[in-house]
Structure 1
Amino acid sequence: MRMRAIGRVPILVAGLLLASVGQVAKAGEEVLAVTGSDGSAISFDLDALRALPVSEIRTSTIWTDGIQVFQGVSLRDLLDHVDAVEGTITAVALNDYLIDIPTSDATRPGPVVAYLRNGEQMSVRDKGPLWIIYPYDDNPDYNTEEYYARSIWQLIRLEVPK
């Protein structure tokens, strides 16, 4: 019986994801979980992220056409808000893609955890609701496979050093 219930979980999750692919995050819905290496956990909905200082990046990307305007919270401000220390962040996407990002990337100007692209919320289909974006056009050092891999979209969780 238990195996049967577990076997249905992926089907249920896949169905929920497909149903929400074209939709944007709803008010009060958790969009980001930040867990600390000390066992702490903080949940953010869009309003909680918007309450943090807003940063904007105007840049082209290898995934989009033309200059895009991304708004969100700088990775530095987010790490400061959750009292992270120096080390390595593990960023996890909706599809379980994960990538390690050194906290040294969290500079000003630097990457933004974007919740708006061109003034609009991003749906899962459009790489949302959260996407870590680097200012590619402002710093040629960011135009490498290493930084492209760190530009995780459909971000749902950050595991931070504490």
Structure 2
Amino acid sequence: MARLREIASGLGAVDVSTYIASGNLLCTPPADPAEFDHALEQAISDEFGYFREVISRTPDEIDAALSAFAFGEARHGHLYFLTDTPDAEAAEAFCARDFGNGERLAVVGRDLHIDYRDGAGATKLTPKLIERALGVTGTARNLRTSAALVERAGA
């Protein structure tokens, strides 16, 4: 995570910090956040030899997603931040599917809301499956981590 902070700073981001060792970068990007995301993707690829998409959300966007979470106070709730808004028909079909462990799903804008009723450990819902079904990639954070990111960004 230290190297990620260095890379982000080198690309012009300020107020750079990280939260837990899972790629949560908090920063104020330079002028164009989309350009920063692409530059960070390229820098990660150059440095570590693999591609990983950068998915940015502002604290207000994360807070709004938490407030709009489709399943209330879900014990095993997750926000799956998507790279783009999926096709409405694809999202509807995906959310209607049964993955076998009681997962509840809802697409709200650019976010997939997931309630792993019995926990995420036994789910068959994988990032590749989500990408194939929705046509966009993403990254998940549980509700506690999402709330912590908003809190840390405001500190």
TM-score bin (small chain): under 0.3
Of Structure 1 and Structure 2, the greater helix share is in 2
Greater fraction strand: 1
Q: TM-score, normalised by structure 1?
A: 0.27
Higher relative contact order (CA 8 A, sep 6+): 1
**TM-score of the pair, normalised by structure 2:** 0.28
